[in-house]
Amino acid sequence: MFTASIVTGLSIWAASLIALISTGGIVVGLRSKAKIHTVGAPIFAALVLGIDCWLSTKFSLSLYHWQISGLAWIIIGGVIGMLWGNASAPLS
């Protein structure tokens, strides 16, 4: 049963997506052959990841009696995003 508000649910949803996209963007940007992507993409993705860290302080999860903090949740999403970014083809 959900015991949180809609805003908390949106925070969890947004933090999950931002973690996946920003860490994947860092990896893809660093693997890019174009100079503008190599510099700009990781910097922008790191700034967005900083916003995600702030957003992660707004929630924590309880799954099957396991307490997961918001920071741990975005770290898990970040690892998945890095694996996705590493598996994707580099930009030309």
Tens digit of each residue's pLDDT, the chain (92 residues): 356 678 777 888 888 888 888 888 788 777 777 766 677 777 888 888 888 888 888 788 777 888 888 888 888 888 888 888 777 766 55
Is 63 a domain residue? yes
Say if 19 falls within a structural domain. Answer: yes
DSSP the chain: ---S-HHHHHHHHHHHHHHHHHHHHHHHHHH-SSHHHHHHHHHHHHHHHHHHHHHGGG-EEEETTEEEEHHHHHHHHHHHHHHHHHHSPPP-
Could you tell me if residue 74 is inside a domain?
yes
> Does the reported pTM lie above 0.75?
no
pLDDT of residue 1: 39
The predicted pLDDT at position 51 comes to: 86
Judge whether 49 lies within some domain: yes
In-domain check, residue 1: no
Does 92 reside within a domain?
no
Domain count, the chain: 1
Range of the domain at 17: 6-87
Residue 42 falls within a domain, yes or no?
yes
